[in-house]
Amino acid sequence: MAVFRDFLPWLQLLVRRRQRFLVGALLVWITLLAGLALLGLSGWFITASALTGLALAAGIPARLDVYVPGGGIRFFALLRTVARYIERLYNHNTVLTLLADLRYRVFGSLTRLDDASLRRQRASDWLSRLTADIDTLDNFYLRILMPPLVALLSMLVVVVFVALWVPGVAVLMALTLLLLWLMVTLFAANWGFSQSYQQTVDQQSLRRLVVDQVQASAELMSYQSAPWHRGLVAAQEQQALLNQQRLGRKTALINCLVSSVTGLLVVAVLWLASQVFFQQLVAAPIVVMVVLIALGINEVFLALPSSFIKLGASYAAVQRLNNLTDDFSLPATQPNLPKGSGLAINVTELMLRYPQALQPALSNVTFLLPAGKRAVITGKSGAGKSSLVSVLIGRLKASQGQVLVGGVAPWPLSSQSRAEHFAVLTQQVDLFDSSLAENLRIANPSASDDMLWEVLRAVALDSWVKLLPKGLNTAVGEKGQQLSGGQARRVALARLMLRNPKVVLLDEPFAGIDAATAKHIAMSLDQWLASRTVIYFVHQLSSLSRPPGIEYHWHLDAGKLSQCLLD
């Protein structure tokens, strides 16, 4: 029951696509029934033709209509082929649709996580959830949910059909097929649950070690620890292979049991049907038809053992994905920020301590920045500037103290509300492998080309872009590798200016930019920042790097904030 409860949120995605699910299941059912009908009718027709020929050879008057069964054989053969093709096309399209739904939901959950939750997992773990876990889960529809349902419906039709001719055989088939269905579903799932669950854990551990090996190769070589770490990778790989072999042996054994049971069922059906034939209750073609249908029912169970024995892997993936929604929860009612162009920032005795950290990242930070005013906070690397930014926009929750933006605590705000009211330029510039225009429109999807040129002019990039052969459609490359560091930073700043926030936090906005260009950008920023609440974060304040309009200056050192006088 607990397993089903964990699957429930993801089953709701299937409920939204229930029409596609039902149509796909119907196509699979039609394909299986067409195959069984083709096999049974062919057996009946061949036997009836042979007996008719023998009767005529013996001088016994006999008559057989070959056109109706011949047409039926052609019909079922064509139906099976066409239904199989449409089923594969339709169900794979459904899987791709569900895959898009899954990725959208998981990525949406990731965007709502706060910084503390993101830091609790490595980047390789997040990547694994977006790729491997979803790839494992998208098999749930085609391999676990649909096949047992179709198998039950097919068994019901077969048993009812056989009961019309030989009821005793139908009872035997019903009991045997039901026990077989339980064996390849519930028993297989329970028997292989722990191994398949561990398989997902082993693969995740192996993936983490391999990523660490690649990303930390320089450090491992410097400390002469590369052979030791490669040994860890090899040991984890060996453990994963051993577990995979154990799971494979269990799968093979269940497949062997399925083949044995269906084989014994065919023998039993043949014996019982023969007894009925000898009692002259049914004709010989009917006996052959029933036996061949019993033989063909094996196809219904072919995919079930290997799917259900790996249910633990799907459950492990579901648990990890469910943790995303558990890591971050928002209150039922969102606080309303006051209207206006700027918001006051009031921080009182703020303290922030990361888990297992010896010293707090921020300690007793107190300051008040009125609405629409500008301030600068200086501090060297590691002083706590990035942590303060995360707290101010609600990406981190303060350990102690109070943070109010516009009289409202930013922590409970949704990601949509944060994006609407806050704009942040961090030292790390994130550009995607797409065109310049598409990277800019991330901030404002409805922005026109004229708006793009306006913000590019503000950051002194318009002349350079006009010289490019493709202009705004120029690809910036993965992580913006086609741009210099200064150009990438100016693109990020231009993207920021396409928005209409109330609070703007700028971390080293002029880093990597020459003095003349920085002066031009500062003038453009001065106009755009009018009436907004602004905080600049810089390493040190000088006449060359001093932003315009600054009225407050604080210095951050080792997590402690002190007020400074402006020159």
- CB-based burial label for 438 (10 Å; 0-12, 13-18, 19+): middle
Question: Half-sphere exposure of 448 toward its Cβ, with a 13 Å CA cutoff?
Answer: 3
Q: Name residues whose C-beta falls within 8 Å of residue 386's C-beta, 6 or more positions apart in sequence.
A: 426, 427, 507
Which tokens hold the place of 210?
Answer: 């391999």
The span from the CA of 175 to the CA of 173, in Å, is 6
- Name which of 525, 556, 529 is nearest 540 in CA terms: 556
The Cα angle at residue 280 between residues 279 and 282, in degrees rounded to 5: 115
Tally DSSP H helices, then E strands, for the chain.
23, 9
The span from the CA of 166 to the CA of 286, in Å, is 9
Compute φ and ψ for 562, nearest 5 degrees.
Answer: -135, 150
Longest alpha-carbon distance in the chain = 124
What's the start-to-end Cα distance of the chain, in Å? 69
CA distances to 53, 123, 132, 214, 465 from 207, rounded to whole Å, are 67, 11, 10, 11, 41
Secondary structure of residue 346 in the 3-state scheme: strand
Pairing between β-strand 552-557 and β-strand 345-352 as defined by DSSP bridges: unpaired
Q: Please check whether residue 333 is in contact with residue 315, taking contact to mean a CB–CB distance below 8 angstroms.
A: no
The span from the CA of 539 to the CA of 97, in Å, is 48
DSSP 142: I
Q: Name residues whose C-beta falls within 8 Å of residue 540's C-beta, 6 or more positions apart in sequence.
A: 378
Helices (H), 297-342: 304-308, 311-327
Helices (H), 183-283: 188-191, 193-215, 217-222, 226-278
Secondary structure of residue 355 in the 3-state scheme: coil
The span from the CA of 193 to the CA of 198, in Å, is 8
Which tokens hold the place of 180?
Answer: 């077989």
Across the beta sheet with 362-369, the strand order is 362-369, 345-352, 400-405
- Bridge partners of 405, per DSSP, are 345, 408
If you write DSSP's letter for every residue of 536-549 in order, what string do you get?
EEES---TTTPPTT
Domains in the chain: ranges and CATH: 14-325 (1.20.1560.10), 345-564 (3.40.50.300)
The four Cα atoms 433, 437, 441, 447 give a dihedral, to 10 degrees, of: -170
DSSP 475: B
The span from the CA of 563 to the CA of 567, in Å, is 13
Secondary structure of residue 283 in the 3-state scheme: coil
Q: Please check whether residue 283 is in contact with residue 64, taking contact to mean a CB–CB distance below 8 angstroms.
A: no
Secondary structure of residue 5 in the 3-state scheme: helix
- Name which of 433, 142, 463 is nearest 303 in CA terms: 142
CA distances to 124, 127, 204, 209 from 215, rounded to whole Å, are 10, 14, 16, 10
Compute φ and ψ for 148, nearest 5 degrees.
Answer: -65, -35
| Helical (H) or strand (E) element with 98 | helix 67-112
- CB-based burial label for 462 (10 Å; 0-12, 13-18, 19+): middle
Give the CA radius of gyration of the chain. 34
Q: Read off the pTM.
A: 0.66
Positive or negative, the CA dihedral 384, 509, 551, 530 is negative
- Tens of each residue's pLDDT in the chain, 567 residues: 566 677 777 777 778 888 888 899 999 999 999 999 999 999 999 999 998 888 888 888 888 888 899 999 999 999 999 999 999 999 888 888 888 887 777 776 666 665 556 666 666 667 767 777 777 777 777 788 888 999 999 999 999 999 999 999 999 999 999 999 999 998 988 898 888 888 888 888 888 888 888 877 877 887 788 889 889 989 989 998 998 899 889 989 998 998 999 999 999 999 999 999 888 888 999 999 999 999 998 888 887 888 888 888 888 888 777 776 554 444 445 556 656 667 788 888 888 887 766 778 888 888 888 888 888 888 887 777 888 888 877 777 778 888 887 777 776 666 667 777 788 887 777 778 788 788 888 888 888 888 888 888 888 888 888 887 878 788 877 766 777 777 888 888 888 888 888 888 888 777 777 777 778 888 888 888 888 888 888 877 765 556 777 888 888 888 787 877 776
The span from the CA of 75 to the CA of 42, in Å, is 12
- Torsion-angle region of residue 508: left (phi > 0), alpha (psi -120 to 50) or beta? left
Mapped to the 3 state alphabet, what secondary structure does 380-446 carry? CCCCCHHHHHHHHCCCCCCCEEEEEECCECCCCCCHHHHHHHEEEECCCCCCCCCEHHHHHCCCCCC
Q: Which residue has the tokens 């062997």?
A: 256
DSSP 368: E
Question: Half-sphere exposure of 523 toward its Cβ, with a 13 Å CA cutoff?
Answer: 8
